[in-house]
Structure 1
Amino acid sequence: MPDDPPGDPRRFGTWAFYAAIGRAFVAMCAVVPVLFLVEAVDVGLGYDLDLAGGIIPRRIEGLDGVFLSPLLHADFTHLYSNSVPLILLGTFVLAAGFRRFVWSTLMIVLVSGLGVWFTGSPDSVVIGASGVIFGYLGVLLTRGLVERSWWNFAVVLLVGLLYGWQLFGILPTDERISWQGHLFGLVGGVAAAIIFRRRRFDPGERKGPVLTPPV
């Protein structure tokens, strides 16, 4: 089998790989100021956006929060705590391809949000991007398994060393934290990594069934 081309962005160590990481990092860094702008508007409106766009479990008026809640945060401290892991994890998810990133993000948001809507307390309003963060963690961890990508494992290990204590967020240890959003976000990330995984084909193999001529 011939070696991968030196410009293959999927191959660790190539210039194309590092360029893909760099572009993804810049893109994710551009997302965070948007979240800060949304939070600034929310503060100016007296946090009315949180109630209008948050997930209110098992209430129809809170169903639109499935897609809006990741853009909202309780305060700037909440947003600061999510910004760095969002950039770090999102960079490596995005570097593997824009379309896969978009579809994976949509699945994570949907699974995490609906999980909260069905299982959360109807007296709560759930906001924040932490479900997406746990989803990206699930994507990278599962990609390492299904695509045999050791550098995905390396990223997960790095994040585990930096933010390992936050992994307890998938357990109901603090009533102020939506453990359902974290847990279902992780599940959505695992599912996205499997569904949108990159299939490996040997370029020398024929596509389609192999027909055996009659004897």
Structure 2
Amino acid sequence: MSETAAKPRSRVADAFIVVGGMLALMWVLEGIDTVTLNALDSFGVQSWVPASLVNVLWSPFLHFGWPHLIGNSVPFLVLGVLTYLSGPARWLFTTVFTTIVSGLFAWLFSPLGTITAGASGLIFGYLTYLLARGIYTRKLGQILVSVVVFLAYGSVLLGVLPTQMGVSWQAHLGGAIAGVASAWYLHGRDRRRSTVA
């Protein structure tokens, strides 16, 4: 054993490793999907099919072709890393909660027989989490992050409306609601505790 302890990785490095690892998995799965002639597409969330409910857990990792994945890659990485910087436990809660709520919205509110997949529900969850977090914490740094995130990605919030054929506004809406709810649960409680004290 070395006499000098190894320098611990920074949270930023951890964020890129974890979120980047998830993104890398998406690319690997899309490669497999391409080789197998889109065999993985059937593992998306199929609305109103009870057996498909379990697919909610992994549908964010699947995409309908390379353009779909490429379009999601940068916002997923940027917003996912920024969310991770709130802390690994908060990131994990937001990721899992958003995945479930977004998937359930797609399953419940999409037309019968629709298959939904892709990371955009998570992207909307990360986006609204970051926007709402600054409101709840009232910390200058997090408010500034909220402003920058809104300026960079705020226009995509229109994706919660049924304005584009072939795009799951249901998953987007579920993800957006879950992101706000996550921020309220994780940061609004802290605000209430500090007020009561």
TM-score, length basis structure 2? 0.85
Residue segments in structure 1 that go unaligned for 5+ positions in a row: 1-18, 208-215
How far, CA to CA, are the matches of 1:91 and 1:184 in structure 2?
21
* Residue in structure 2 matched with residue 155 of structure 1 by the alignment: 145
Higher Cα Rg: structure 1 or 2? 1
Aligned length in residues: 186
* Residue in structure 2 matched with residue 128 of structure 1 by the alignment: 118
SS at match of 2:116: coil
Report the Cα offset of residue 101 of structure 1. 1.0
How far, CA to CA, are the matches of 2:134 and 2:162 in structure 1?
28
How far, CA to CA, are the matches of 1:27 and 1:106 in structure 2?
14
The alpha-carbon distance between structure 1 residues 151 and 75, as it changes in their structure 2 partners (threshold 3 A), is farther
Report the Cα offset of residue 177 of structure 1. 0.3
Report the Cα offset of residue 99 of structure 1. 1.1
- Which string of whole-angstrom CA distances, capped at 9 and with x for unpartnered residues, describes residues 117-163 of structure 1? 11111121101000000000111111101111333343343333333
Query: After the TM superposition, which residues 33-182 of structure 1 pair with which residues of structure 2 at under 5 Å, given as runs?
Result: 33-51=24-42, 53-182=43-172
Between 191-200 and 90-99, report the one with greater CA deviation.
191-200
How far, CA to CA, are the matches of 2:140 and 2:107 in structure 1?
35
How far, CA to CA, are the matches of 1:113 and 1:151 in structure 2?
32
How far, CA to CA, are the matches of 1:36 and 1:89 in structure 2?
18
- Which string of whole-angstrom CA distances, capped at 9 and with x for unpartnered residues, describes residues 76-134 of structure 1? 11111111111111111111111111111111011111111111111211010000000
One-letter code of the match for 1:31? M
* Residue in structure 2 matched with residue 31 of structure 1 by the alignment: 22
* Residue in structure 1 matched with residue 3 of structure 2 by the alignment: none
- Which string of whole-angstrom CA distances, capped at 9 and with x for unpartnered residues, describes residues 25-48 of structure 1? 343223211110011111111111
Between 172-181 and 24-33, report the one with greater CA deviation.
24-33
In the alignment, is the contact (CA less than 8 A) between 2:131 and 2:150 conserved in 1? no
* Residue in structure 1 matched with residue 6 of structure 2 by the alignment: none
Report the Cα offset of residue 56 of structure 1. 0.8
Query: Runs ≥4 in structure 1, deviation > 6 angstroms?
Result: none
Give the helix-richer structure, 1 or 2. Answer: 2
SS at match of 1:122: coil
In the alignment, is the contact (CA less than 8 A) between 1:85 and 1:133 conserved in 2? yes
In the alignment, is the contact (CA less than 8 A) between 2:125 and 2:176 conserved in 1? yes
* Residue in structure 1 matched with residue 4 of structure 2 by the alignment: none
How far, CA to CA, are the matches of 2:134 and 2:57 in structure 1?
28
Percent identity, please.
35
Residue segments in structure 2 that go unaligned for 5+ positions in a row: 1-9
In the alignment, is the contact (CA less than 8 A) between 2:130 and 2:149 conserved in 1? no
